[in-house]
Amino acid sequence: MSKVTYPGAGAIGVASVGVALLAIGLVAVLHWAAQGKAHAATSSPPSPPSSAARPTPATPAERAAGLLRQLDQVREQAFARRQASMLDRVYVAGPLLAQDTDLLQRVVPPGCGMVGVHTSYSGVQLPASGDDRLVLDVTASLTPSTLSCRGTASTIAAGEGPTRLRIELVHQADGYRIASQRRVA
C-alpha cells in the first residue's frame, strides 16, 4: 500500500467542514420538528421541576458543531460510495459543489471508494447568524483516508492538519447547505 497526497486533498478537509454544517442544520430542524409534534401529542401538563440535576442545554456553538458532524457524515459517505449526487445535500449549487464533485470524481476511480474522509472540528464559534444563515468560524482537521477498490485497500491519502475556516450556511427548504467557505487567519 502506498501513501500519496492527491492534488486538492486539502480541499477534502475544507469541503468536509461544509458537509458537516449542512447535516447539523438538517438534524436541528428535524429535532425541532419532532419536539413540536411530541409536545402537541401530549395532553397532560408538564411535570413539575425535579430536584435532580438537569443537563445543561447545548450552546449555539455546540449545536453548530453537531451540525458540522452530521454534514461531514454525508460527505464521508459520498466519497466512500463514490456518489457525487450526495454532495447536493451538502452545498448550494455553485463553485463549492462543482469543486468537491470534481475532486471526488478525480481522486476516486469508478468501482472504488475513498474510505475515512472524516473531518473533525474544534473551536467552533458563531460570529454571525440570522433567520436564513449561519456564519461559523471553525478549526478543521482531516484524517487520512484509504482508497479501496473491490474490497482491497490500495492507497492512503494523507490527512490535513488544523485549518481555520469561516463557513457560511444558508437555509434551504430541506435544511442548511454550505454557501461559502474560506481559510481565515
pLDDT tens digits for range 124-158: 998 888 888 889 999 999 999 999 998 888 899 99
Q: Is residue 146 part of a domain?
A: yes
Write down the residue that cell numbers 437555509 correspond to: 171
Total domains, the chain: 1
Alpha-helical (H) ranges within the chain are 9-41, 60-81, 95-107
pTM (two decimals): 0.70
Range in 2-6, 27-31, 176-180 the model is least confident about: 27-31
Q: Is residue 43 part of a domain?
A: no
Which structural domain range is residue 32 located in? Answer: 2-37+60-183
Q: Is residue 53 part of a domain?
A: no
Cell readout for 108 is 476516486
Q: Is residue 46 part of a domain?
A: no
Cell readout for 133 is 444563515
Q: Is residue 159 part of a domain?
A: yes
